[in-house]
Amino acid sequence: MYKVITKEQEQEFTSLDLAMEHAKLINEFVTISGGEFEIVGRFGVDSVVDGKTPDGVAYTWNKASRIGRVKKEK
């Protein structure tokens, strides 16, 4: 069993796929708890088109802004 937990409610599902689909539909920060692991976050960003996520937020991640030293080839 997998639990989708929000601030307001908890709901159980028989598969991880069903739990993730439900998390996408409610469109808020959730915890999915199942057996030996937990997944946290807001589900539903499946693609970036023209630099924006499906809800219109600009997607600005780039490799140069990552923390840590960039490895260079010799």
The 10s digit of each residue's pLDDT in 1-60 is 999 999 999 999 999 999 999 999 998 899 999 988 999 988 876 678 888 877 788 887
**Pairing mode, strands 10-13 and 2-5:** antiparallel
Res 69 pLDDT > 60: no
Cα gap 58→60, rounded to integer Å: 6
Cβ-proximal residues to 41 (8 Å cutoff; 6+ apart), any chain: 29, 30
Query: Measured on CA atoms in the order 51, 31, 25, 27, is the torsion positive or negative?
Result: negative
pTM of the model: 0.60
